Amino acid sequence: MKAETLNGLPHDGTAQAHFSHYAAPLIDNALACAGALHSNPDAEVLHKLRVSLRRLRTLLWAYRPLLDEQFDNQQRALFKFYASAAGKTRDWDILIALLGELGDAQERPVDALQAARSKSFDTSRATLEQADVKRALRDTLKEANRELNTAHERTPLPKFARKRLAAAQKSMAKRMKRAARAKRSDYASYHEVRKAGKKLRYLTEFFEPMLAKKQLKAVKPLKKLQKRFGALNDVVASEQLLRDNQALYVDEAAAAQALDALSHERKRRMRNAGKLL
């Protein structure tokens, strides 16, 4: 008798058997983005690569109970390194856009900012090419599948999915409580909420066919939280990036004015984010 399926996933399937179902498309997309970097200087390509790598890290976190701990730690650290390298150019794009929104356009050193952005892209591309992302991603998939498919115990996928999502929800709730009690100047606690929210959303998307309606109802408010906390992260990262590169401004007063505008915007966005806690 053929097993009933949900979105192609059999009810009686195991978590071990379906790892590739989740991982392979992410790896294919990451490889396509990495391959496009040589000819496409669009930071959106780097962003899509970073998102795929983040999703892979979340997937490895989900499968952590079924994988060798050392292997999991190594791979997630590797993906974090790749994602960080891919994200630097987008940080410059966000800073340039924010300065345009908040400040006097004539005061911005447009050429210097764009030159720094181009240099960042070249560095990101060179770093990722030298790191041999293609081989690393394929090796990760191969090794993970070897471990999972040779395991003696088999874990039903629906049970596994609900358990791991529950763990992510518990972590999210804990971090939100901590951030709610923290001082408004404590961005670190807000950043932890943002990371936990991403993990929870990615897991929900992975395991959606097997989740209860109650678990799926959390997606809408989660998207709102991610949007608001993401906007906060953008301005925090931009403020730090500008502090590290104030020399791009020939006029020190103009640099101080830009930093002041970013500081005010950070405080405003922290208040908005705090309302969701």
pLDDT in tens, 224-236: 999 999 999 999 9
pLDDT band at residue 11 using 50, 70 and 90 as cut-offs: very low
Residue 5, pLDDT above cutoff 70: no
Map out the domains of the chain with their CATH numbers.
14-155 (1.20.120), 157-277 (1.40.20.10)
* Cα–Cα dist 42/243, whole Å: 25
Residue 106, pLDDT above cutoff 80: no
| β-sheet bridge partners, residue 14 | 156
What does residue 15 show for φ and ψ, rounded to 5 degrees?
-60, -40
Prediction pTM value: 0.86
User: What are 38's two structure tokens?
Assistant: 């040589």
Neighbours of 225 (CB within 10 A): 22
pLDDT in tens, 165-224: 999 999 999 999 999 998 877 899 999 999 999 999 999 999 988 877 777 777 888 889
* Cα–Cα dist 252/90, whole Å: 25
Residue 256, pLDDT above cutoff 90: yes
* Cα–Cα dist 62/136, whole Å: 20
* Cα–Cα dist 155/66, whole Å: 9
